Each structure stands twice: as structure tokens, then as C-alpha cells.
Amino acid sequence: MKKVLAIILAVAALLVACSPRISQIGTRKAESDIVILYDNDVHCHIDGYAKMAAMKKDMEARFDHVAVVSSGDFSQGGPIGAYTRGESVIKVMNEVGYDIVTLGNHEFDYGFPQLYKNLGNLESEVVDCNLMDLRSGKSLFKAFSIKDFGGTKIAFVGISTPNSINSSTPIFFQDDEGNFIYGFCTENIFSKIQQTVDQARSQGADYVVVLSHIGIEEDIAGLTSRIIASSTSGIDVILDGHSHSVIPCEKIRNKEGKQVILTQTGCYMDNIGRLVITPSGEITTELIPTKEYNKMEPRTAAVVDSLTEDYNRFSNRLIATTSFPLAAVESATDRPPRYQEMPIGDLCTDAFREVCDADIALQNGGTIRAGLLNDEIIFSDIFSMVPFGNQILVAEVPGSVLLDVLESSVYLTPEAFGGFLQVSGIKFEADLSVPSKVKVSEDNMFVGIGEGERRVRNVKVLDRKTGEYKAIEPDRLYKVAGSDYILSNCGNGYTMLQKYGRMGKIVMKDVEAIEKYMTEHLHGVIPERYRVPQERIVLYKKN
């Protein structure tokens, strides 16, 4: 950790900020310039692709060498993607004509069979230097691809975050015995990246452009895109993703003191990035806000309209009404808070518990991606809220295991953690002044809890007959409802639940359970009790 901190401090000292250039497209003619349009973290916001296609045509009309690339998270994160398991997004990207992509962590959310199907239909190259088949020791995809632009060779290197295993579904990366068969070079990722860059250079690459789904926030390997830039040599540009950061141009010194440009477009196609390499070797990057770029390529727009109409026919039915918004975000972020109880989390877990006739329901906060903000809630609103297509299952879990689960849920609190659980039928307190005793493996899987005082206390379970909360009984089996992601697939690291979840029974999809709860249990009206958190989770610190 000290080593990582030292690297971070060194990077901070070496950063040289570019003057932010968020501009409209220029008008000069420069046939020999190389133009690369780039995006990251589009997350199924397919409307933006018609603008990307139009911009590509604009560039091709004025420049001889144009490419379009993506740094990942294109096939998941929105209802239209979940509805088709990413296939609709692939159709639109093919219409745009992407040249090269790398994989974001959410490309794995549908499982490897669907990943291979989607990428088999994708008409662009896939590069990923650190996704490995652990059985053979070989990469699943090409580590890099060299493109010739009029005699200038550019190598595109792909890097996926090692967090993909934990933030997607860990079981997808395992065999039937629970052994990991796919990995991301977590322990030797820097040497893997350097080896790939060196190989690209040895094959004649004049420039190396990294398509990085890493981001500027530390992952489980202590990795950020800035650390990659400062700890390697031979990289010219990093087109970054994953952290949803808006970075027009940031200059970082590599380990040889040479300049590396880091850039990221944000997310949801709010900006389109443009990288330009001139014949003299000047490299510039800029972000073009799509709200200020009004052109749309007709054929791509037509594909988007057709897919949207098909989805709307499925999703526009009225489910419920509400007199208040069920917000799922904080004012300072576009993500639901992942360190506290949320009213919308109370609603979702109540739905799972009631519909499944369970004692307790659990849901990881990272699954909740949007709020319910309209007076009328239609099915697509629910799909936007929980877009991952998880199955709800019911399993019998000992009270002693549930105590470990709750302790693990708050091990990072007050830091954000996608595995912070929303709950129903159970309530507890957590003293955050107590250091966490939870043991976590290198790949962020829970492997035990050490001796000593725990954070979680005063755990009580709702007695469905009396309506009263009673102290949890460690030896009792409780009927628990939750997603297969958490209960059986080790999602967010909850390994202790897997054997119980695998013996459980799948009931229905999460969106169907929420719809059923709203229509049949709430009779189409969201009650006032969901306006505020119901104090099922009380977090505090002693003086």
C-alpha cells in the first residue's frame, strides 16, 4: 500500500494540466492528419451513436485517416441493453462502424456465452491484453492491433479492470467446482502491460494508444490509469474509461520522463472524444459535447428508432403512481449512494420479501442504478432502476451466516461499496468507530472475519406473525430472498452465501417481483412510508 501511495504522490507531482479544450469541430483541411474518435461508458444510451456516426462522416469528408474506438461498457447499464442482453447495442455500433473496442467490466454481466455471441456479431476488433484463460495461460483476445494510417502505424492496446470479476458476477469466471478459470493478471498487470507495449513497438508501431477501462479511482490491484501512465514506457495516449470522469487532456510523465496524454469522455455519450495526430507528431485530444453537435447520421438514427420503438411497445405499460419521487442519487453524484439505507432500497427488498413470502430480503446497493422520479411509474422505469436482469431466488440461510453477511456489508462504510446491502425483514446497528475485522482476498472476495469486536450489533428479525422484531437466532434457518448475483453467484464477494443459494429456488426476475409487489400488494400506489428511510440500518460512531 505504501508503494502504491508513493506512486500516486509521484504522479501527482508530475501531472501537467492541459488547458481544457472542449470545442466544436474545426474547419481546416488536413488529409494527412490521423483522427481517432473515441467514447467510453456509453451504457446503452444508444441515441448518441447517431451523432457519433455523423461525426465520423464529417471527419472522413475532411481527413484521409479516421477511426472510431471504444474503451468499454457499451453493452450494459440501461434497460434497452438488458432487454436484448446487449444485442441491440451491437447492432447500432455496427451501423456506426467501430474499428476497435476493449471490454469494460459490464460487458461480462450477461455471462461468457452471451459475451461471445455479442462479440461474434460485433464487426470491429476486440483488444484486451490482460483477460486470460487461466487454464491455458493464453489471452482470450488479441492484446493489441496495429493499424496502418497512410504509412503511420498505430498500435491499439486494450486493458480491462481486474475489478470486473467482483463488480460483474464472480461465478461467470469460475468452473463448476468454483475454481477461477478466467482472470485479469491482477498480480502482474504492470509487467503484462509493459510486455504488450514493447511487443507492439517491436512490430513497428510508431504510436501506442491504450484503450483503458481502468479509470482514475484505485481498483483491487491498486491500479489507476494515471499509475499505468507513470509506471510504464512507450505509451503515447491513454483513452480511458470506467470512472465516468470528464478529462479533455491531462499530461503525465512516464517512467522515462516522456509525456503521456490521458483523456476520458465521461459517460453516456455526453461527449465524443477526438484524438488528432499530425504528420509532425503533435498529439492533441478534445471533447465535443454531443448536446452542441446537432447532426445525426440517418441510417444509424433509423436503427436506433426501430430498436427504441420495439422496446417501448414492451415497456410503456403503467405499473403504479406516486405522489413523491423515490430518488436514488445524492446531489453530488449520478450514482445511488452505496453506504446507507435508501427508501428505494427499502421498496425493492420489501418487494422481494413479500412476493417470495420470505423472512428476510437482501439487495446490494450497486444493483440500483436509477430512481423512480415520475408521478406515473411504467415498466421501463423499473427496468432502468434494476437493469441487470437478475433472478430472485429464495434460500434457507443460518442466522450465524447472516451475521457474517451483515458484517461484510459494512466493512468499507462510510466508503462507497456496491455490496452495501439494502434489507427487509431485518434491522441492525453498525458502530463505524470499530475497525472492520472482515478478511478480503486479493480479488475482493470475503474469506472470513477475524477475532474481536464486530461493527454490527443489535440484529433483529421481523416476526411475521406478531409484527415485532426479535433478536436473530444464530442456529435458526431463515428464509432469505435476494438476487442470484448475491445469493448464489458470489456477487460483491459474498462467498459465504453461495452454497445456500445454490440449494435455493429461483422464483422470478427482479423486475417482475417489483412489478408484482407494486400492482398486487400496493395496489398501484406507492405509500408514504417509502418517502424516507425506515431506519432498518442505523450507522453511528462512538466518541
Q: Which fold has domain 316-540?
A: 5'-nucleotidase;  domain 2 (3.90.780)
Separation between Cα atoms, residue 231 and residue 237, nearest integer Å? 14
pLDDT higher than 70, residue 332: no
Which CATH code of 3.60.21.10, 3.20.20.80, 3.40.50.970, 3.40.462.40 fits the domain covering 2-20+30-310? 3.60.21.10
Query: What pTM value is reported for the model?
Result: 0.71
Q: Name the least confident of 25-29, 217-221, 374-378, 436-440.
A: 25-29
Q: How many CB atoms lie within 10 A of CB 506?
A: 12
pLDDT tens-place string over residues 133-177: 999 999 999 999 999 999 999 999 999 999 888 777 788 898 888
> Which distant-in-sequence residues (6+ apart) come within 8 Å of 130 by Cβ?
139, 159, 160, 162, 184, 185, 189, 192, 193
Residues of the chain with CATH 3.90.780.10: 316-540
Cell numbers that stand for 239 in this block? 483513452
* Whole-number Å distance between alpha carbons of 372 and 383: 10
Which residue intervals of 15-152 are DSSP H helices?
47-62, 79-84, 87-96, 112-121
- Cβ(483)–Cβ(387) below 8 Å: no
Tell me the three-class secondary structure of 304-329, residue by residue: HHHHHHHHHHHHCCEEEECCCCECCC
Residue 221 has a pLDDT of 61
| H or E segment to which residue 238 belongs | strand 237-240
CA distances from 102 to 73, 121, 212, 332, 427 (A): 9, 15, 7, 29, 42
pLDDT score at 323? 95
Burial of 245 (0-12, 13-18, 19+ CB in 10 A): buried
pLDDT level of residue 520 (50, 70, 90 thresholds): very high
Angle CA 487–489–493, to nearest 5: 85
C-alpha–C-alpha distance, residues 87 and 80, integer Å: 9
Per the prediction, the chain carries an average pLDDT of 90
- Kindly report, as residue ranges, where domains of CATH 3.60.21.10 are found in the chain: 2-20+30-310
Inform me whether the pLDDT recorded for 76 exceeds 90: no
